[in-house]
Amino acid sequence: MELLVTLVITSIIVGIASTIYLNMQRYFTTSEESYEQNSDVNFVVSLLKTDFENSVSAVSSFGLVTLIGNDSKILEYDFGDQYIIRKIDYRRDTFYVNTQDLDIIRIDDNSDLVTEIKANIMFDGDSVPLHIYKSYTKDVLFNLYHKKE
């Protein structure tokens, strides 16, 4: 009889311990996946901002933004609904982020030069605003102004 009581108590304790372990495992797996998605979003936003700041000019056509660097190196960003692809030389970096409401704003209607990129990146049901601004040197703006005339 005492052995049966001990066996029942032990099985209850083992059941409680395994339930706690499985719940903790599920929590850590979910938070790890959330952390990975969050770090991907932060990384692509940081990379976009750095690339835009370091570029001499940015040109856009059909959702593709081409950045031209000081050394004439060309870097392209392709914005899709479910991804952002960064192309440089023969390397492509694909970021699987849900991009919505993409708005590529040009310096004026007659130019392909990009001044701003606005979008919303969906992350865990929340919308993370993306706003990147490109400022141009006075030489580029002067040449653009005289090109119109």
DSSP labels for 78-90?
A: EE-SS-EEEEETT
Q: What is the mean pLDDT of residues 34-62?
A: 83
Compute the mean pLDDT over every residue in the chain, rounded to the nearest whole number.
Answer: 84
10 falls in which pLDDT band (50, 70, 90)?
very high
The rounded distance, in Å, linking the Cα atoms of 57 and 134 is: 8
Q: What does the block give as tokens for 96?
A: 């699987």
Name the one residue in this structure whose structure tokens are 């130019």: 111
The predicted-structure confidence for 81-131, as pLDDT tens digits, reads as follows 888 899 988 899 988 888 888 888 888 777 788 888 998 888 767 788 888
Average pLDDT value for residue range 59-83:
85
Range of the domain at 133: 2-148
Closest by CA to 107, choosing from 74, 80, 143, is 143
The token pair that represents 52 in the structure block? 């835009």
pLDDT value at residue 33? 73
Number of domains in the chain: 1
pLDDT at 12 over 90: yes
> What pLDDT sits at residue 149?
55
Better-predicted residue by pLDDT, 111 or 12: 12
